Structure 1
Amino acid sequence: MFDIVSLLLPFFGLILIGYIAGKVTKQPADALGWMNTFIIYAALPALFFKLVSRTPFEDLTRIDFIATDLAATYSIFIALFAIGRWIRGNSLADCTIQSFAGAYGNIGYMGPGLALLALGQAAAVPVALIVCLENALHFIVAPALMAAAGDDRRSAGRLAIDITRKVAFHPFILSTAFGFVAAAFHIDQPAAFQHFVDYLAQAAAPCALFAMGVTLALRPVRRIPAEIGYIVLAKLIVHPIVVYLALTAIGGFEPVWIYAAVLLAALPTATNVFVIGQQYGVWKERASATILITTALSVVTVSLFLIAIKSGFLPA
């Protein structure tokens, strides 16, 4: 148990420090803008490039792994969408945000820090693959469904161009693609460049977790969704279990890859879910409440999954 606490204390401790700082200093939300810019455009891309470029290329081409992980994640998405649409009778737009709330974890900000801290450098490749390819698919699915719901007024051609541009030029995707090229062609990186990338990458997890805590502090809970009960259950419990069962059923993966995928699936709802809701004016206050609630509860649930992994309760 002490080992689990020592792993999680710096992780959730940074979120707590950010949350307290946000509450105490009373800085406006705009004050966080440059830090988020640094995280998204410099620190995290440097981390992903570092992880991918220094990995044997054959490990980067495990299509079976990422396909299984995506199938498991979107099985949760589809199940929640069906519940919202045909059992609760919610609109298509509401169902889209609800489904993302239960299937889109905070893998970008929280994933690399937690997985590398808990599992070591061997978790680097599965983390990079999941973060980049899941985000790419989310960037495609969200606007496509919102367009189907009538909440996106762009023409089909303009929508396709905008989605392609967002995916192709996202810093996470670009940095991972450059990492693939460096690994595939065995490009030697100058020592000075490697030190620079390492320096940026070391700042990724602390800055991202602190910024997340501040963001949570600046989003008060105004409206708790009626769907919160089953969304929390789906995101924090069912999602990681489904990912675990899918990967172990397919087989042929290193245990650390399975555990990395499980930990990323166990993470709370991504802050991007609120951004999507705000962009389309749909379910935004309830999305904010869901992020805060799942993040608070994930202290317990992530700890339980870590205990299960470390104790051998989840054999891989």
Structure 2
Amino acid sequence: MIEIIGLISPFFGLIALGFAAGRLAPHPIGGLAWLNVFVIYIALPALFFQLLSKTPVEKLASVGFIASTTLATFVIFVVGFAVALLRSRGDVPASTIQGLAGAYGNIGYMGPGIALVALGPQAAVPVALIFCFDSVLHFVMAPLLMALGGGEKLSAPAMVRQVAIKIFTHPFIIATIVGVLGAVLKLQPPGPIERSLELLAGAAAPCALFAMGVTLALRPLKRVPPELFTIVPIKLILHPIVVWLVLVLAGPFDPVWVGCAMLLASLPTATNVFVIAQQYEVWVERASAVVLVTTVISVTTVTLLLYAISTGLVPTHPFSN
């Protein structure tokens, strides 16, 4: 357990450092804009490209794994959405944000760094695949349900166009596509470009985690929404359990891939959920609270999950002889 704590503490330490800086330094949240541009459009895409372009092509065509993890995340979204819909007596827009809060983990900012350090370079491919297909799922569900619930008035063609633009202009997904093409064509960037990519990839996780901490600090928790008592266990406990169940039933899969999928599922609610809430002007303050609370609690839950994975307490092939 001490080894796991030592492994994961620098990541949450960077979030805490960003949180402290955000509280102590009198700067508005707009000051984060260029750091976020660097992380989202440059550093993390460089990391995804590097990881995928050097991966054997056959590992990238893991249809069963992709279908299983995406299905598990969809199940969690449906559970969170249904619980919220019952509680709110039919408020579809607010229930959509709550469903996303339970299913949309911080797999972009936190996922690559923690997974690669905890599980090794073999985690690179499942991280990229899960990120891409989970992101597509969320990009589809948010505008679709907002339109159906009256939160946004869009025609069917306009909604399809909006979803397609969000998917195919997302810098992580573009980097993934280019990385896959690089793997297929066996492209090797020239030395100076390769070294630049290495520098950018190395900066991705520290900058992303620091920016996340600052963001949390500048959106203080004013009150505890009652919905947290269902969303927090759905996101931090139920999500990784459902992912594990689906994978062991659909498998067998590589144990590292199973561990990686569970780890990503256990991560706290993504800050993008707050961004989506702001976009539709629905459940904004509570979405911010969910991001903050799940992040704080995940320090314990993610550590315990990594300990369970590393010690074999979570079997990856429980039904095999």
DSSP-derived class of the 1:294 partner: helix
Partner Cα separation in structure 1 for residue 139 and residue 278 of structure 2: 15
1:283 Cα deviation after fit: 0.4
CA contact (8 A) 1:223 1:285 kept: no
Q: Does the Cα contact within 8 Å between 1:85 and 1:91 map onto a contact in 2?
A: yes
1:118 is matched with which residue?
118
What is the deviation of 1:253? Answer: 1.0
Aligned equivalents of 1:218, 1:20: Cα separation in 2: 10
In 1: Cα distance, 2:32 partner to 2:132 partner: 24
SS in 1 for 2:188: coil
Partner in structure 1 of residue 40 of structure 2: 40
Could you tell me how far apart the structure 2 residues matched to 1:190 and 1:72 are? 40
Partner of 1:182: 182
Deviation at 1:157, TM superposition (A): 2.1
C-alpha deviation, 1:156, in angstroms: 2.6
Question: 3-state SS of the aligned residue for 1:128?
Answer: helix
Superposed, which structure 2 residues align to 1:228-247 within 5 Å? 228-247=228-247
Is 2:198 aligned against 1:198?
yes
Q: For the residues of structure 2 that align with 1:304 and 1:288, how far apart are their CA atoms? A: 25
AA at the equivalent of 2:171: P
Partners of 2:131 and 2:84 in 1: CA distance: 26
- One-letter code of the match for 1:145? L
User: What TM-score does the superposition give when structure 1 sets the normalisation length?
Assistant: 0.98
Deviation at 1:87, TM superposition (A): 4.8
Determine if the alignment matches structure 1 residue 274 to structure 2 residue 270: no
CA distance in 1, matches of 2:232, 2:86: 19
Does residue 283 (structure 1) correspond to residue 283 (structure 2)? The answer is yes
Shift of the 9–290 alpha-carbon distance from structure 1 to 2, 3 Å rule, reads: same
**d(CA) in 2 for partners of 1:235, 1:264:** 11
Work out the CA distance in 2 between the residues paired with 1:304 and 1:262: 12
Distance 1:26 1:63 in 2: 48
Residue 4 (structure 1) aligns with: 4
Give the share of equivalent positions with the same residue, in percent: 53
Q: What is the match of residue 220 of structure 2?
A: 220
**Counterpart of 2:157?**
157
Who is 1:55 aligned against? 55
Report if aligned partners of 1:136, 1:173 keep a CA contact under 8 Å in 2: no
> Residues 8-33 of structure 1: CA distance to partner in whole angstroms, max 9, x if unpaired?
11110000000000000021000000
Cα distance in 1, alignment partners of residues 163 and 80 from structure 2: 24
Q: Is the 8 A contact 1:126 1:261 kept in 2?
A: yes
Structure 1 runs not aligned, ≥5 long: none
1:304 aligns with 2:304: yes
Equivalent residue pairs, number: 316
Q: Which stretches of structure 1, 4 residues or more, deviate above 6 A after TM superposition?
A: none
Distance 2:223 2:71 in 1: 31
Stretch moving more, 217-226 or 9-18: 217-226
